[in-house]
Structure formats: C-alpha cells, structure tokens
C-alpha cells in the first residue's frame, strides 16, 4: 500500500473527502463479499491473507490493517468503493412506502434505520441535506449490508414533500399531538417522515405532513421515558404499516 492510498482512506472518514472523490470505505469480509456480487464498483481491496483474490486485491499484514481501518475494532478487509448514484423516482411514491429523515444526525440511528428499511422491503429513503451521511464508515457498518439494497437520496426535503403533497401523496409524521397509530387508517404507499433526535420534525417539514401519528405508550397515562429512540419509533411504525397489509 502506498502513502497516497493511506491518505485517501483517511480522507474518506470525512464527508468532504467522500464528496470530493466519490468514494467510500467498506470494511469487513462479509460486507465486501456482498459488494463484490452487487452492482457497486470496487476500486481496491486491502485484506489479510487468505480472504480475497483478484487483480484489485492487495494482501496486507494485521499491523497494516490497523493503520488503515477507520473503525474502532479493525476489520480483516477494507475496500475502497465508488459511491453509487441512484435516480429518484418521485412517480413511485404513490406505489410504495418511502421513508424521509428530517435531520437524523446520529450515524448509528441512520444505519439502524437503513437496516430496518431493508427488513421491511422499503427501498428508498429521503434524507434532508443536514442528516448524517449514509457513507460515513459507522453508518455503513451499522447497516450490516443493507446499504447495498436500500437507496438513500439527499434532497431538499421541504420542497420535495411539498411537491408530493400537491400530488396527493399521503405524508405521515410523528407528533406528540398526533393520533394513536393503531386507530389511524394507513395506506400501503406514501411517505413516513421521522425527525431529529432532539427536536423532532422541523416546523417547515411539519407543515407538509398530512397525517400526524403518535405511538401510544402503555398504559396511556403512566409516567414513562418521554420518547422512544428515533430508530425504534421508525421500526414500530413500519411494522404497523406492514402488518396492515399482511
């Protein structure tokens, strides 16, 4: 491995480096195998002996992997991968359930949400520009490979939701004053908006929401934690959307 390669990998730990190069780093044997059999293009793989073969593979030592890895626990293989460009098909919003994240900032939460979107067959996630970056190494790791199947789009969220609303797409969002999720009719298609970890859905985005939902605590009047984690809330609502279609 060259000094330039080490510097490149370091730079891909930051969003700026990823934007400038159009590359991201994927770590872990299983994930890299999955990428290899996907449509994504791998530029180079660095791996310990015995894991991968091919013209794009360079065998490195455990010590070298420790230097390269962007994760807390260094993996046995690391790949430099081209960031895919997904076309956003706004016309599909009236056919499927789509997630929209309004400034979800924690990489672990974003990764978990991508993973559960995959579980529930949700193929598109819209993110406001100030959301965490889905090619952050922590997010890539937390998705457990789901990043290869779920398309994440960074968009002007208020403008896009406004457009969707004009086209009569139902837009769901959670609010403290929302209606009990289990008593609200849910369509099999539409957009489900989830908000920032601390502030929830922003005023601007909230204006576009056509169906305000609340996950009821239990029992309804008991003193509980004030809120569920955003990834947990997303999972519970998606499960209910899917149950209704079961």
Q: Which residues contact 34 (CB under 8 A, 6 or more apart)?
A: 145, 148
Q: Which is nearer to a copy of itself, 160 or 191 (CB)?
A: 191
Least separation in angstroms between residue 120's CB and a copy of itself is 5
Q: Which stretch binds a copy of itself (CB under 8 A): 71-79, 153-161, 167-175, 176-184?
A: 176-184
SS3 label, residue 98: strand
Q: Does 235 bind a copy of itself (CB under 8 A)?
A: yes
DSSP structural state of residue 147: G
Q: Considering the rule CB under 8 A, would residue 170 count as an interface residue with a copy of itself?
A: no
> Which of 49, 53, 61, 216 is close enough to bind a copy of itself by CB under 8 A?
216
Nearest to 6 by CA among 55, 52, 51, 58: 58
- Is 224 among the residues that bind a copy of itself (CB under 8 A)? yes
Q: Does 182 bind a copy of itself (CB under 8 A)?
A: yes
Element housing 164 (H / E) = helix 157-166
The CA distance from 213 to 209, in Å, is 10
> What would the two tokens of residue 197 be?
């970890």
Which of these, 43, 46, 36, lies nearest to 77 by C-alpha position?
A: 46
Q: How many CB atoms lie within 10 A of CB 64?
A: 16
Which of 115, 151, 153, 211 lies at the binding interface for a copy of itself (CB under 8 A)? 115
Stretch that binds a copy of itself, among 10-18, 50-58, 107-115, 124-132 (CB under 8 A): 107-115
The least distance separating a copy of itself from the CB of residue 224, rounded to whole angstroms, comes to 5
| 57-85-34 Cα angle (round to 5) | 40
Question: Which positions touch a copy of itself (CB under 8 A)?
Answer: 108, 112, 115-116, 118-121, 143-146, 149, 180, 182-183, 215-219, 222-226, 228-229, 231-232, 235-236, 239-240, 242-243, 245-246
């Amino acid at each position: 491995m060259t000094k330039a390669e080490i510097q490149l990998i370091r730079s891909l730990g930051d969003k700026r480096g990823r934007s400038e190069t159009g590359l991201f780093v994927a770590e872990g044997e299983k994930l890299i195998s999955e990428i290899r059999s996907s449509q994504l293009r791998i530029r180079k793989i660095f791996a310990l002996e015995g894991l991968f073969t091919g013209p794009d593979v360079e065998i490195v030592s455990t010590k070298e992997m420790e230097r390269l890895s962007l994760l807390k626990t260094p993996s046995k293989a690391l790949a430099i991968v081209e960031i895919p460009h997904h076309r956003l098909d706004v016309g599909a919003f009236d056919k499927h359930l789509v997630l929209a994240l309004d400034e979800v900032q924690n990489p672990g939460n974003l990764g978990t949400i991508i993973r559960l979107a995959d579980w529930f067959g949700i193929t598109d996630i819209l993110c406001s520009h100030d959301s965490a970056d889905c090619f952050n190494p922590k997010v890539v790791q937390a998705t457990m490979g789901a990043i290869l199947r779920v398309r994440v789009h960074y968009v002007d969220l208020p403008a896009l939701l406004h457009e969707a609303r004009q086209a009569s797409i139902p837009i769901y969002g959670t609010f403290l004053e929302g209606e009990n999720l289990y008593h609200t009719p849910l369509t099999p298609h539409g957009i489900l908006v989830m908000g920032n970890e601390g502030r929830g859905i922003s005023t601007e985005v909230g204006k576009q929401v056509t169906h305000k939902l609340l996950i009821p605590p239990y029992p309804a009047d008991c003193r509980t934690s004030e809120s569920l984690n955003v990834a947990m809330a997303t999972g519970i609502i998606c499960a209910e959307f899917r149950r209704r279609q079961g």
